[in-house]
Structure 1
Amino acid sequence: MNTADLGLPVDVPSTALFTDQYELTMLRAALKAGTAERRSVFEVFTRRLPNGRRYGVVAGTGRVLDAVENFRFDPGVLGFLRERQIVDEETLEWLAGYRFGGDIWGYPEGEVYFPGSPIMRVEGSFAECVLLETVILSILNHDSAIAAAASRMASAAGDRPLIEMGARRTHELAAVAAARAAYVGGFATTSDLAAGFRYGIPTVGTSAHAFTLLHDRERDAFQAQVETLGRGTTLLVDTYDVAEAVRTAVEVAGPELGAVRIDSGDLLLVAHRVRQQLDELGATDTKIIVTSDLDEYAIASLAAAPVDAYGVGTQLVTGSGHPTSSMVYKLVARADSADPKAPLVPVAKKSSGGKMSVGGRKWAARRLDADGIAEAEVVGTGPVPAELADRQLLVPLVRGGTVVAREPLDVPRDRHIAARANLPLSATQLSRGEPVLPTEYVHGRSGS
């Protein structure tokens, strides 16, 4: 596995240290207690959606699969653990041969989810599963938050394309993951070349204000850009006077000018004025792109404006106010011995304070109404009711340690569009509200 495919610096050999120390100390104690090999089931879920959100979006699954494959304790990693005395030699010997050999099931990437949805289920020995907790959560929490924000923005934008351009507003590696998640959530392109290189996302970009300021005259900057990139380029017109810049842009490029970009001011008012001016100058096919700290609410407010595309940065890569999805990774069932045939026993946290969990190995299905629209998220243990058998949501991702669910990034992107369209219409409302689907629990026998 090429670490570049994981969004990692080339000098990071594996994902094994993308973890919290207590995963390894639990492993050490479990090995000593003789419980490390007990068959176990962990599930990823969230107890609640971010305040006001109507649905969540599963994103990062492909990155999780890469991370699991690349979770290896090579000599450098083992040397670090030995030097810090984080674990003993017996545990180091066990880690040296670590390869996840269990099964992973999950909601397919791009699918929507709700409170209690078992978004991912990891099965194997306690030892092999517990080590993956942190890296799985770090990927899913981040990417799903970005995809949810992207989905809301895409709903607000309608048929107008969205450009992801937030790389300068977040960590350089997070920027690549954010661009990927945004594409899953409905964005059309990214300005981040690393995301284009690693994930095949279409990339775009022309010039910033610095290019205009570099030249003695705005006309000179426009002339240089058009001569280099062609008449179909996008010219930035708000460095000085917008009206004068639009006039100059059309004079330089002619009516074949591809687009103008507006990055400041009252975007609604300025867009109307620019559209009128372009039309009067004969540039009727020249498009208008707006940027400037947009979020889903700003995009929705521009629905009546003559805008052709939106560029979004800061608000997207920070989850539009919700940078995490609050997902957790909990043990929900385990065997009472290391015997591979020992039955699973449901287990669950019972403490107060809103952090209780539901024990048992779960399935999930989405019930539809008479019109074929989703009406409930049904989560259960034991047998799946016959009427829900063909509506189950979890699919196999890893079998016996082998990834079985790789897919091109366009597949989860299209899947999300279809999943969102299958929700009640109120799912796309930006006003604050409860999850658009209730979660119903069906309790049954939850053995192996």
Structure 2
Amino acid sequence: MGNLVIIGAQWGDEGKGKIVDILARDTDIVVRYQGGSNAGHTVINERDTYIFHLIPSGILYRGTTCIIGNGVVVDPSALIEEMDQLQTKGIKIGKNFAVSQRAHLILPYHKAIDRAAEQSKGSRKIGTTGRGIGPSYADKMARIGIRMGDLLNPPLFRKKLEENLVEMNWFLERLYKVETFQVDKVFDQYMGYAERLKSHIIDTTTLLNRALAKDKTVLFEGAQGTHLDVDFGTYPFVTSSSSSAGGACTGTGVGPTMIDAVMGIAKAYTTRVGSGPFPTELTDEVGQGLQARGREFGSTTGRARRCGWYDAVIVRHAVQVNGLSSLAVTKLDVLDGCKELKLCIGYKHKGVLYKEMPADLEALTDCQPVYQRMKGWSASTTGATKYAQLPVEAKRYLDRIEELSACRIDMISTGSKRHETIIVRNPLKCSRRRPRS
């Protein structure tokens, strides 16, 4: 078995949680490498429905270690709440779960600044969830962030908190005209979190590299999707971290030579949450139908997702910037009953035809999608577990997705449950690295 990165190939919400859940059964470690509690992965198995925000869904398997890497920003309150909810459902969280000492904290002032800054933007809103993700990453890059390991050193934590609140309270009071924070109150609150989490806060980089040296199999789990990546997404309508495959290395401390393959997850159509360009968006009854059948509402925020036809341009871009070795196509069953399907194969803007994704935000926002029409299918694909069970039109649709993306399809999801999946090839059975001499 090889070491595999799982990454969203669209704008997030592609169904990564289910794919990670299936593959985690055969892995030793699952590590989340970026994002925060704004992410939501839903897993449905024979026991229950589970919604994950920070903890990798591999926690459902005994013998699988789950790690929150240094590239994640952690809201300890949200983490503890998630731990409690999982334990209430009988999921053990002990030595099988660890958080990097180097992961940055989300503090109350981050959430306040996030909400106030978004509100002040008016029509220029990014669509942030207000959970403090962006401001925490901003502090990290400004070198004033406070890390999980600082919770284990109360005097140091208090000193950093006092220094930061001088500036943060000024912004909150003078610029945004909202309530400020008291050092003592925040300190006491976070020391309570520290008491609960201290046994899980360790040097996860060393743990991971030692495991790899013993030939353990590691699954790297990304949040959001490629086109929310701060560098390669539809900037500025993006998240604040490296949600592309490169973030797996910087977000865990594992070198790129230790990763064997990268799998991109893409819906059989396209969705997006929040603001930003969406060339294939459908605002008519077709889009409403996709939204209803696909139950396109965020597991974290409950926000309705915008829906549109499959965009081969953005997936091809994801293949390029992530070096994807394969794809998993999810929610194929949502297209059941569509008489005609459309695949976006390019964009037209001001007389120019774009076959590759433009960096120009205006071109993305104002372009007209160029579609290829394909015949749909009336037979149900829900619950199919073998490729041979699919209607011929569905096979042609998938073949065209492979051709347009120049990337093979290894997995196809045909429903929300774990077993409603077609595994064409096991993506973990990728070529292993050469043994060290």
Question: Which category describes the TM-score, using the shorter chain as reference length?
Answer: under 0.3
Q: TM-score, normalised by structure 2?
A: 0.21
Q: TM-score, normalised by structure 1?
A: 0.21
| Larger relative contact order (CA 8 Å, sep ≥ 6) | 1
